[in-house]
């Protein structure tokens, strides 16, 4: 289930294009869309930002979600799995850094694929053989959180991209 704050972030592109929702409208959209798959809903909203002439109703958003899911299945993909961008592996970036005198592998959310999403872990991007933090830091009730923003790229000098083995490369690049 999608939380209310996550739903607000997902619907934000529509609100920016058309108008901000009232508190009551936000409750209705949340109630009608909260059980949608998050990645499918995001893609549907992005499609509606480009195509809709007026702010879509919850039913129109649900129809767009069904179209995205059907399109993913028709193209041989798992309907609920995000595709990812050319800089990542299905929405994630793998990197290594030294942890207590040993190299450890880490997985970070791709800031391009998760743009605008909030996390307790910093989102990253990979450029050639370098890893960059690509997020805004802020405090939320005493907890440090990060919002993915690929426009902010701060070199993460302790991290290096993972040298993937052939099996991982085949899984993510040869579809």
Residue pLDDT, tens place only, 74-86: 877 776 766 667 7
Residue 174 has pLDDT above 50, yes or no: no
Distance CA(38)–CA(82), nearest Å, equals 9
pLDDT band, residue 118 (cuts 50/70/90): confident
Number of other CB atoms surrounding residue 169 within 10 Å: 12
What size, in residues, is the chain? 175
Question: CB-based contacts of 75: which residues, under 8 Å, 6+ apart?
Answer: none
Residues 17-49 pLDDT 10s: 999 999 999 999 999 998 888 889 999 999 999
Question: 152 and 169 in contact (C-beta within 8 Å)?
Answer: no
pLDDT band, residue 98 (cuts 50/70/90): confident
Question: 126 and 93 in contact (C-beta within 8 Å)?
Answer: yes
Can you give the residue ranges of every domain in the chain? Answer: 4-74, 92-173
Paired residues of 89 in beta bridges: 92
- This model's pTM is above 0.85: no
Residues 102-113 pLDDT 10s: 888 888 888 888
């Amino acid at each position: 289930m999608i939380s209310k704050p996550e739903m607000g972030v997902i619907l934000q592109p529509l609100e920016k294009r058309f108008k901000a929702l009232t508190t009551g409208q936000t409750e209705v959209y949340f109630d009608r869309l909260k059980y949608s798959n998050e990645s499918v809903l995001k893609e549907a909203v992005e499609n509606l930002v480009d195509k809709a002439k007026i702010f879509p109703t919850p039913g129109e958003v649900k129809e767009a979600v069904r179209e995205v899911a059907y399109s993913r299945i028709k193209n041989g993909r798992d309907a609920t799995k995000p595709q990812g961008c050319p800089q990542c592996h299905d929405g994630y970036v793998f990197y290594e850094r030294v942890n207590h005198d040993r190299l450890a592998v880490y997985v970070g959310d791709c800031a391009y694929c998760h743009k605008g999403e909030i996390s307790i872990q910093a989102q990253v991007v990979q450029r050639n053989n370098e890893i960059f933090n690509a997020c805004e830091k802020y405090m939320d009730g005493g907890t440090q959180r990060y919002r993915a923003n690929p426009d902010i790229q701060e070199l993460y000098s302790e991290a290096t991209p993972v040298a993937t083995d052939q099996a991982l490369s085949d899984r993510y690049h040869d579809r």
